[in-house]
Amino acid sequence: MIRLLLLLSIPLYILDQWSKLWIVKHFELHVTEQEVIANTFWLHHTANTGVAFGMFNGTEYANYAFGAVSLTALTFIIWMYKKGAFPGVLSRTSVALLVAGIFGNLTDRLLHGYVVDFLRFDFGFPPFNPWPSFNVADSCVVVAAILLAVASFTETAPAEKAKA
């Protein structure tokens, strides 16, 4: 696991934080926007105190509650890892991506008081019109969830391997 943290989690965490600091420095919150791909992709600076898709954004204690949820999730992941719940490459890769994503957004909550979202897409058809803004850490969490789902069908726990 240490190898995956060094090779995957830390570089992705650094990329996430660098990209967010660059956005904070160059884009005024909720004002400045730069079109990257005509009518499809924009960079901008938005604040998200909620969770995925901006749910619970702006509610009074959301930032504190979701900061606590992040710490709880990290604790649970570490506990599950020690229990051998992530036996294969896909599941361990998903853990490394989750760690990068959770730490990335938790760092934002501590540094800025909100999660910095800056990637905005409009695919031109409902319900993805426009897609909610996100960041590198969010991407890590989504890819981790997909990998974990695939791993749940393809990887066998060590205890089950011994029985087979």
Q: pLDDT tens digits for the chain (164 residues)?
A: 678 778 999 999 999 999 999 999 999 999 989 999 998 999 999 998 876 656 656 667 778 888 899 999 999 998 998 898 999 999 999 999 999 999 999 999 999 999 999 999 988 877 666 778 899 999 999 999 999 999 999 988 665 555 55
* Domain total of the chain: 1
pTM for the model stands at: 0.87
In a domain, 163, yes or no: no
Domain range for 96: 2-33+43-157
In a domain, 164, yes or no: no
> Within a 10 A sphere around the Cβ of 9, how many other Cβ atoms?
23
Domain presence at residue 75: yes
Q: Please state, in angstroms and rounded to a whole number, the distance separating the CA atoms of residues 41 and 157.
A: 41
Which residue, 63, 77, 71, is CA-closest to 111?
63
CA–CA distance from 91 to each of 103, 105, 154 (Å)?
A: 18, 21, 10
Catalytic (active-site) positions: 117, 138
What's the CA gap between 114 and 48, in Å, rounded?
A: 5
Asked whether residue 38 is assigned to any structural domain, the reply reads: no
